[in-house]
Amino acid sequence: SWGSVRNAVSEAPNQSYKREPRPHTARFLSLVLLEKRNSGRSTAFGLKASSLKHLKMMSEKRKKVEALTRELELPNDVLLKVSAKLLDEFNKGLGRDTQESAEVKMFMTYVRDVPNGTETGTFLALDLGGTNFRVLLIDIDGDRFSMKNEIYAIPQEIMLGTGEQLFDHIADCLAKFMDKYKVKSKTLPLGFTFSFPCRQEGLTSARLVTWTKGFKCSGVENQDVVQLLRAAIAKRADIDIDVMAVVNDTTGTLMSCAHKNKQCRLGLIVGTGTNACYMEKLENVELWDGDYDEPRQVIINTEWGAFGDHGTLEFVRTRYDREIDQASLNPGKQLFEKMISGMYMGELVRRVLVHLAQQNLIFDGKLSEKMKTIYLFKTKYISQIESDARGEYDEARNVMVKMDMVATDEDCECLKLVCSRVSSRAAHLVSAAVATILNKMKRPHTTVGVDGSVYRFHPRFHFLMEAKIAELVNPQYKFDLMLSEDGSGRGAALVAAVAVRSKKK
């Protein structure tokens, strides 16, 4: 998780759809309302003419910056091409004979139903998907629930160590948590959110396909992560836990939002990584090996972060995307994710800025050591910079101070442009992918449950997505975006609760 740059926009991302005024419209209105340009003379709104000087910043340099970053803008015809290619990959991933060669694996989760309001009991949830993990104790009574949770860090040496070290650390934190909340003597059902690409073999069995998001623990890939967790717990002998389900954060988000909104059938994450899941009809899942009892549906974990890994996205990737991929822990993998997620967005901006400085188009061509250092320009800085009002640069200057950079107003204006283009591209790519699923599901109305630091904290991401999905989806399929308030951990407990409910049948 990165930063908490909240504002009115990110506080209420479930508001009804409002289209923002386009920048050129706002600029035109500002000019029309300007009465006199004499320095210090007020305008119709009491603004000083000097405060609108940024409107004249279309210098030669600025024009060149706009031209050099235009490749980051993706018009709708390009986004529709992305959507068509993604749909092909979805269908390949669902096909018995084509899944192996598909970029997008469309893993079955074995989760067949959303909460119906009759679930009851006390559950543990474990949420692992980034540099921190959460342990939760949740009491569910139909539509009501109460929750206690603690966040634990995963040190870098454990992220890059052995699988045994990782799961021992998790079991240790679980024991401390149960001790603190005085439930150590109880046998509790646990829902495990494990947010890495896994091939599920049942509700309580998932093999890690590949590590992502900076993890490289040895001895875990191709292993069943539930077995590894159970082994670490059994070794301790001081806690008794019944793992009822393993899900990823998208499924957790879908379940968490469906508990509150009965139309939620799509879960989306735009945070450190990006991924989505949705409810698919069993008749479309050729690899389904379970029963065909009602409900004849299953949540599919798309693992769309790997879209493009076999070359299908070369028509939209830029030099910056290729540089980031080559320098990453997993070159050639998760290429769609690397164009979108919080792990890489700040670094994308930094690489664009370095390129512009080398052309002497920004910062007088001078770069600090910090600006030359990979991953030091944090993704949260983009949210800060874009939260400045038009023509104001307070947050941009604060970020530049942190980066040991000296920036003029014109530099700040170019910086905002670069941030805006990188974040807009990310939002538009995600929107194309969401529209692909909505068009595939063909539901009259679908709520999309969304979580992740990029969506939650970026000041425009929700609105960019809402507007772009509306342009790309078939107009007969209505949608709304719902922020998941409780994260994916509560969703994992709900999966466990639904599993317990189904067992009682």
For the chain, give the mean pLDDT. Answer: 88
Query: Is the pLDDT at 20 greater than 90, yes or no?
Result: no
pLDDT confidence of residue 37: 36
186 is catalytic: no
pLDDT confidence of residue 132: 87
- Set out the domains of the chain in order of their start, with CATH numbers: 113-260+486-500 (3.30.420.40)
* 3-state DSSP of 422-452: HHHHHHHHHHHHHHHHHHHHCCCEEEEEEEC
Of the listed ranges 22-26, 77-81, 300-304, the least confidently predicted one is 22-26
Spatial distance between the Cα atoms of 317 and 7, rounded to a whole number of angstroms: 31
Q: What amino acid occupies position 184?
A: K
pLDDT confidence of residue 56: 53
Spatial distance between the Cα atoms of 272 and 196, rounded to a whole number of angstroms: 11
Alpha carbon of 332 to those of 101, 320, 323, 351, 490: distances in Å? Answer: 15, 14, 11, 19, 33
Query: Is the pLDDT at 259 greater than 60, yes or no?
Result: yes
Spatial distance between the Cα atoms of 440 and 279, rounded to a whole number of angstroms: 11
Query: Is the pLDDT at 379 greater than 60, yes or no?
Result: yes
What's the rounded mean pLDDT across residues 115-144? 90
pLDDT tens for each residue of 193-249: 998 999 999 999 999 999 988 899 999 999 999 999 999 999 998 999 989 999 998
The 10 Å Cβ neighbour count of residue 84 is 11
71 CB-near residues (< 8 Å, 6+ apart): 318
Query: Is the pLDDT at 387 greater than 80, yes or no?
Result: yes
Spatial distance between the Cα atoms of 249 and 256, rounded to a whole number of angstroms: 10
pLDDT band at 28 (very low <50, low <70, confident <90, very high): very low
Query: Is the pLDDT at 18 greater than 80, yes or no?
Result: no
Sheet of 240-247: strand order equals 144-153, 132-141, 120-128, 187-194, 240-247
224 is catalytic: no
DSSP β-bridge partners for residue 451: 269
Structure tokens at 66: 């706009």
Query: Is the pLDDT at 22 greater than 50, yes or no?
Result: no
pLDDT confidence of residue 386: 98
Catalytic residue, chosen from 224, 249, 309, 388, is 249
Q: What amino acid occupies position 77?
A: D
pLDDT confidence of residue 182: 94
pLDDT tens for each residue of 415-442: 999 999 999 999 999 999 999 999 999 9
**Is the bond preceding residue 13 a cis peptide, omega within 30 degrees?**
no
Catalytic residue, chosen from 105, 213, 416, 468, is 213
What's the rounded mean pLDDT across residues 254-271? 95
pLDDT confidence of residue 58: 56
What's the rounded mean pLDDT across residues 71-88? 99
Q: Report how far apart the first and last C-alpha atoms of the chain are (Å, whole number).
A: 39
Q: What amino acid occupies position 474?
A: N
Query: Is the pLDDT at 321 greater than 90, yes or no?
Result: yes
- Please give the residue that has the higher pLDDT: either 164 or 30: 164
pLDDT confidence of residue 47: 47
pLDDT band at 53 (very low <50, low <70, confident <90, very high): low
- Percent of the chain surpassing pLDDT 90: 76
Which range in 131-135, 347-351, 388-392 is most confidently predicted, on average pLDDT?
347-351
Is the CB of residue 451 less than 8 Å from the CB of residue 14? no
What's the rounded mean pLDDT across residues 382-390? 97
pLDDT confidence of residue 16: 34
pLDDT band at 82 (very low <50, low <70, confident <90, very high): very high
pLDDT confidence of residue 52: 53
Whether this model's pTM surpasses 0.85: no
